[in-house]
């Protein structure tokens, strides 16, 4: 740029005095009215350039001119012109599309009627693949890098809507695209719908930012840079569906204003795809040109939270792709993951699945096999309504449980001033927490819109119970010579309390610290171990469950006696005896006796003979050893003793229940014996006299049993009153010893557990539906239980270490969850949750026809156990920092602990299941070898040992388990892991051609081929703008990871810069 100190009006006649290159600089203009000077500052550190104008208007004019004259401004102008050109082309294309709109038939009301496409229920309406031939380039020597953009012209509208795009195939004029086009079941497509195919040549690949989302009608499509228009073609859906060969060959034309029909630039082939049919031909074409065709797929550094339909950072790829070096000798038989597709897509299970899954997003691929055949892959991702349903059900249970606990604390009766003040403080804090739960439930009840929580909402308080990005990722493989197969992975963000933060660590550390502090609470309260506290909650739960059952069975017994029905009387007595025995057994514990003593000393007027002293763990274990030997029972050192307390009183009250039951049993036996003897003596007697005797005997039965049943109820009521008060006193000590930390930890644990449980329920329901015809799996389910394997990708650095601690506790708590399958009585198929914090039962509802397929044990209501295991391997740059300068003990301990749990499940499996029950289990040595290999890799403690993830996933699939993949937000790292696992399965199990492994992997990771997404489908929309630059720390870290010495230098320099900045 030429700068001249003269006035603007003399610019053209004066000569240049200096040449300044306006690159990486900015203009500083003085705002005062008198100052007419401008300063140019350079980022390179060169001296500032001062320019002075003749007047203030000239100074302002120079400032504007200089601001627009730099290289960035010129680039922006060029991009604006490119966008304008593309907008003009899009408008012209939209006008041309209007002439293809059909003249729809009009009914009597004047509304257009369209012909629907007949497809299988819950299957995509339309799927087709694409290929081009004989494309013409602008210059002869240029090799084309092409992709196809698919747009839809709806018959009832006049707007062209972009739908999806293929991948970019580089370096050929005959591209064959591996990514197809699929329209989900709910998409409004008809035979009259027009589809426009536009072929582009990507020139500037670094700037191509093709959008594949469905743009709203009121928004202009975003122009794309770095590409040129080659040609377009349009076809009618009905023509493709009704064509004899189900294939169309269209002529690509370059439309121009000079020519009427446009210039022919090649052809494009459209092939209708049906997953149940094989595709022949074209294999010679693709295998011959495989060396010439290069595949290009742009991986945006910021991907959408839909995860596996997006991409991630390149430095994570190097770590994960180490898993692809496995050889064929380690191939795993994973095809048994699913049953025949007709069993999956039948009409019977659609209502129950549709109640759980919604908004599916589909992608279609075709990949060559090693024997020159085609296999088709449909990738589907779906949201689940359980993301909100399960947390709301859980919060509702928490509210009821906490209200019941508060009432039990109030019912403790009169206490000494110290304990009474403690109780008031606890109830006040509990009421605050209860109010918070109620507010959260009310806010969730108001939620509308998306059925999942996006990652940008993980810090919202009202959504802290909701899991992050909970989705089902399913891959349906249809390959020649092999049975169709389904592979499911549940993807979800790591269950963690993001709103509460991780400044002090996660649950694993916080719980350990809290327990240590609670042991040293002095004389303020009585210390009870976590085991005793859990036992107290279990006793209270048994009381609330068994007491109404015993009362109802006692009433049924009296009703049978009044009707003089011997059979009914026997059945009622049997049920009453069983429930009463369970009731009596629930109080056969030293904890109840010691808690009654402690409660007695807390009453007004009692004097403590011995101060409360925290017990050691050795003393606790010693008590447990002598628990079943009354003659050797020792008093708890933490419990105060009183000389006037009669410890035998509780034994008498407790024993009275059993004695009362024995009296009832003896009376029933006596009545039945008299009835039998009277019948044998009377023989043939007058019928009317016999009826009178029966009525009189019925009255005698009722009158003789009534006082005994009332005595049983009274004894049971006295036991319930004392036991409830004693156990409530134990819970009072737990809460009082750690206010308010105890309640905050309970809240945090509830939050983490809610997120983990929502994913578990989703995984169980999906697994049950896909395996209903697998008798081996159903036998394993009720005999052994279900293995649930979580793959964690969190680092052990900074906040993610706290997330991992939360996640480990939340997944461990899932062991307390039991499942029960019931027959649905209505059209509502959502699961029902019952229980309390220490024990939950999830009732899964199935339609009648599906319920009949289950084994008798499951139909009878047998509880199904879960065996959750977690294996974590950090793979990002933060894990590199943790391994070099931090601590990875947390990850090592978690992996080692869960390896033992996995071995325990394997041993249980081998003991209870016959060797020939499962096709996967034909060679036990194979599974043993995998377990031993996993054990060795965990013990090796290698950096970023991703082999652990592959081995754990393989073992899980062999044992018919449910797979979960988790990272911080279930986006980048999760998508990398899932797509790599899918391609590895295609290679090992379905003979994917070895030369197409990387290309298949890139297809699945490309956001460009993402399909029809709208703003509600992308949870990041509205949180981050398009093309948001990646973190400025990414590039130096990714570069410096090559050398540890450079990394140290970079850290030192960064620290020095930060210190200088803040000084």
Q: Give me the pLDDT at residue 805, please.
A: 96
In sequence order, what are the residues at sequence separation of 6 or more whose Cβ sits closer than 8 angstroms to the Cβ of residue 1041?
315, 877, 880, 1047
Cβ-based neighbour number of residue 685 at 10 Å: 10
d(CA 768, CA 846): 10
- Those residues of the chain that have pLDDT short of 50 are 1-12, 97-111, 207-224, 280-347, 608-643, 687-698, 921-922, 1009-1042
Q: How far is CA 16 from the centre of its chain?
A: 67
Q: Are 858 and 906 in contact (CB under 8 A)?
A: no
- Using only C-alpha atoms, the chain has a radius of gyration, in whole angstroms, of 37
Q: Determine which one of 306, 332, 737, 967 is catalytic.
A: 967
Provide the pairing of β-strand 160-165 with 145-153. antiparallel
The two tokens of residue 1017 are 């489908």
- Cβ-count burial 596-624 (b if 16+ within 10 Å, e if not): bbbbbbbeeeeeeeeebbebeeeebeebe
d(CA 458, CA 1030): 20
Q: Are 1049 and 889 in contact (CB under 8 A)?
A: no
Q: Give me the pLDDT at residue 539, please.
A: 86
Q: Are 358 and 451 in contact (CB under 8 A)?
A: yes
209: region left, alpha or beta (phi > 0 left; psi from -120 to 50 alpha): beta
Q: Give me the pLDDT at residue 735, please.
A: 86
Nearest to 896 by CA among 952, 950, 944, 977: 952
Q: How far apart are the first and last CA of the chain?
A: 39
Q: Give me the pLDDT at residue 473, please.
A: 94
The two tokens of residue 104 are 């729809």
Q: Is 967 one of the catalytic residues?
A: yes
Nearest to 598 by CA among 615, 585, 586, 611: 611
Q: Give me the pLDDT at residue 1007, please.
A: 62
Burial class from Cβ neighbours inside 10 Å (0-12, 13-18, 19+) for residue 216 reads exposed
d(CA 211, CA 222): 8
Q: Are 502 and 974 in contact (CB under 8 A)?
A: no
DSSP state of 16: P
Angle in degrees, CA 362, 365, 366, rounded to 5? 155
Q: How far is CA 787 from CA 763, 814, 851, in A?
A: 11, 11, 22
Cβ-based neighbour number of residue 1062 at 10 Å: 6
The two tokens of residue 390 are 């399960």
The two tokens of residue 273 are 């795809």
d(CA 654, CA 728): 18
pTM: 0.74
Q: Give me the pLDDT at residue 646, please.
A: 62
| Per-residue pLDDT tens over the stretch 915-953 | 766 555 445 668 888 999 999 999 988 888 999 999 999
Nearest to 167 by CA among 275, 298, 59: 298
d(CA 602, CA 645): 12
Helix (H) or strand (E) holding 899: helix 889-912
Q: Give me the pLDDT at residue 47, please.
A: 79
Provide the pairing of β-strand 839-846 with 374-384. unpaired
DSSP state of 894: H
Q: Give me the pLDDT at residue 567, please.
A: 87
The two tokens of residue 678 are 């009277």
In sequence order, what are the residues at sequence separation of 6 or more whose Cβ sits closer than 8 angstroms to the Cβ of residue 468?
453, 454, 455, 458, 492, 493, 494, 755, 969, 970
What DSSP string runs through 754-791?
A: HHHHHHHHHHHHHHHHHTTT-HHHHHHHHHT-EEEEEE
SS3 for 707? Answer: helix
Nearest to 932 by CA among 924, 944, 920: 924
Alpha helices in 257-313 (DSSP H): 283-288
d(CA 45, CA 385): 57
Q: Give me the pLDDT at residue 561, please.
A: 87
Q: Are 452 and 469 in contact (CB under 8 A)?
A: yes
What DSSP string runs through 403-467?
A: HHHHHHHHTT----HHHHHHHHHHHHHHHHHHHHHHHHHHHHHT--S-SSB-GGGTT-GGGTTSP
């Amino acid at each position: 740029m030429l700068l001249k100190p003269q006035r603007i009006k003399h610019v053209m006649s004066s000569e240049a005095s200096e040449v300044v290159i306006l690159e990486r600089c900015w203009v500083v203009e003085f705002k005062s009215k008198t100052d007419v000077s401008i300063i140019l500052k350079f980022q390179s550190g060169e001296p500032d350039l001062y320019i002075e104008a003749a007047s203030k208007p000239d100074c302002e004019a120079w400032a504007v001119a200089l601001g627009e004259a730099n290289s960035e401004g010129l680039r922006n102008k060029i991009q604006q012109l490119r966008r304008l050109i593309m907008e003009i082309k899009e408008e012209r294309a939209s006008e041309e599309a209007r002439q293809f709109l059909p003249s729809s038939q009009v009914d009597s009301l004047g509304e257009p009627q369209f012909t629907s496409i007949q497809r299988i229920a819950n299957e995509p309406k339309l799927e087709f693949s694409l290929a081009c031939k004989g494309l013409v380039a602008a210059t002869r020597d240029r090799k084309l890098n092409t992709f196809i953009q698919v747009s839809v012209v709806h018959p009832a509208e006049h707007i062209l809507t972009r739908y999806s795009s293929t991948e970019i195939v580089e370096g050929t004029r005959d591209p064959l695209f591996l990514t197809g086009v699929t329209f989900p079941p709910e998409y409004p497509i008809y035979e009259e719908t027009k589809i426009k195919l536009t072929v582009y040549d990507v020139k500037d690949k670094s700037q191509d930012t093709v959008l594949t989302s469905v743009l709203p009608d009121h928004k202009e499509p975003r122009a794309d840079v770095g590409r040129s228009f080659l040609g377009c073609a349009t076809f009618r859906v009905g023509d493709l569906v009704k064509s004899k060969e189900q294939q169309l060959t269209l002529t690509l034309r370059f439309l121009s204003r000079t020519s009427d029909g446009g210039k022919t630039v090649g052809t494009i082939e459209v092939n209708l795809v049906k997953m149940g049919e094989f595709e022949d031909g074209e294999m010679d074409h693709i295998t011959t040109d495989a060396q010439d065709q290069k595949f290009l797929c742009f991986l945006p550094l910021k991907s959408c939270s839909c995860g596996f339909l997006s991409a991630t950072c390149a430095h994570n790829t190097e770590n994960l792709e180490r898993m692809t070096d496995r050889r064929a000798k380690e191939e795993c038989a994973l095809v048994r993951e699913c049953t025949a597709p007709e069993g999956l897509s039948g009409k019977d299970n659609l209502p129950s699945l549709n109640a759980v899954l919604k908004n599916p997003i589909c992608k279609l691929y075709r990949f060559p096999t090693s024997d020159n055949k085609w296999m088709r892959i449909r990738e589907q991702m779906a949201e689940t309504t359980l993301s909100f349903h399960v947390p709301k059900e859980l919060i509702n249970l928490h509210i009821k449980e906490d209200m019941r606990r508060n009432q039990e604390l109030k019912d403790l009766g009169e206490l000494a001033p110290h304990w009474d003040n403690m109780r008031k403080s606890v109830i006040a804090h509990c009421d605050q927490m209860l109010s918070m739960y109620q507010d959260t439930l009310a806010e969730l009840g108001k939620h509308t819109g998306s059925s999942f929580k996006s990652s940008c909402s993980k810090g919202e308080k009202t959504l802290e119970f909701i899991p992050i990005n909970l989705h089902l990722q399913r891959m349906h493989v249809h390959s020649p010579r092999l049975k169709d197969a389904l592979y499911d992975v549940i993807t979800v963000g790591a269950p963690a309390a993001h709103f509460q933060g991780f400044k002090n660590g996660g649950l694993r550390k916080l719980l350990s610290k809290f327990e240590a502090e609670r042991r040293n609470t002095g004389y303020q309260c009585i210390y009870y171990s976590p085991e005793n506290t859990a036992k107290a909650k279990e006793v209270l739960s048994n009381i609330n469950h068994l007491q109404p059952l015993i009362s109802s069975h006692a009433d049924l017994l009296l009703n049978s006696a009044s009707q003089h029905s011997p059979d009914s009387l026997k059945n009622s007595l049997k049920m009453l005896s069983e429930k009463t025995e369970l009731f009596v057994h629930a109080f056969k514990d030293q904890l109840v006796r010691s808690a009654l003593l402690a409660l007695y000393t807390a009453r007004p007027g009692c004097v403590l003979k011995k101060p409360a002293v925290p017990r050691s763990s050795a003393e606790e274990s010693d008590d447990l050893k002598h628990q079943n030997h009354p003659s050797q029972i020792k008093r708890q050192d933490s419990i105060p003793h009183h000389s006037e307390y009669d410890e035998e009183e509780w034994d008498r009250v407790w024993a009275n229940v059993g004695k009362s039951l024995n009296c009832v049993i003896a009376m029933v036996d006596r009545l039945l014996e008299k009835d039998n003897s009277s019948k044998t003596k009377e023989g043939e007697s007058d019928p009317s006299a016999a009826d009178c005797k029966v009525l009189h005997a019925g009255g005698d039965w009722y009158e003789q049993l009534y006082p005994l049943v009332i005595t049983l109820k009274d004894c049971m009521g006295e036991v319930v009153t004392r036991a409830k008060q004693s156990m409530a006193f134990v819970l009072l000590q737990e809460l009082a010893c750690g206010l308010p930390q105890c309640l905050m930890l309970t809240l945090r644990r509830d939050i983490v557990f809610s997120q983990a449980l929502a994913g578990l329920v989703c995984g169980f329901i999906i697994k049950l539906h896909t395996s209903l015809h697998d008798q081996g799996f159903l036998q394993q389910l009720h005999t052994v239980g279900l293995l649930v394997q979580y793959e964690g990708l969190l680092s052990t650095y900074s906040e993610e270490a706290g997330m991992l601690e939360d996640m480990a506790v939340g997944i461990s708590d899932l062991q307390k969850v039991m499942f029960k399958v019931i027959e649905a009585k209505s059209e509502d198929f959502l699961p029902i949750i019952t229980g309390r914090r220490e024990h939950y039962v999830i009732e899964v509802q199935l339609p009648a026809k599906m319920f009949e397929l289950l084994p008798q044990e499951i139909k009878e209501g047998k509880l199904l156990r879960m065996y959750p295991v977690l294996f974590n391997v950090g793979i990002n740059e933060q894990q590199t920092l943790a391994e070099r300068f931090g601590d990875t003990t947390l990850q090592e301990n978690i992996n080692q602990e869960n390896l033992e749990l996995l071995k325990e499940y394997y041993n249980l499996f081998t003991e209870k299941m016959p060797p020939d029950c499962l096709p996967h289990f034909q060679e036990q040595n194979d599974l043993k070898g995998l377990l031993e290999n996993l054990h060795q890799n965990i013990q090796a403690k290698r950096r970023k040992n991703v082999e652990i993830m592959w081995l754990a996933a393989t073992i899980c699939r062999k044992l018919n388990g449910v797979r979960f993949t988790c990272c911080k937000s279930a986006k980048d790292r999760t998508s990398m892991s899932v797509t790599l696992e899918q391609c590895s399965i295609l290679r090992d199990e379905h003979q994917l051609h070895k030369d197409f492994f990387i290309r298949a992997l890139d297809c699945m990771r490309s956001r460009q081929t993402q399909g029809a997404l709208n703003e509600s489908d992308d949870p990041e929309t509205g949180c981050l703008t398009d093309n948001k630059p990646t973190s400025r720390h990414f590039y130096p870290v990714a570069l410096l990871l090559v050398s540890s010495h450079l990394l140290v230098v970079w850290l030192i320099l960064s620290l020095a810069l930060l210190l200088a900045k803040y000084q």
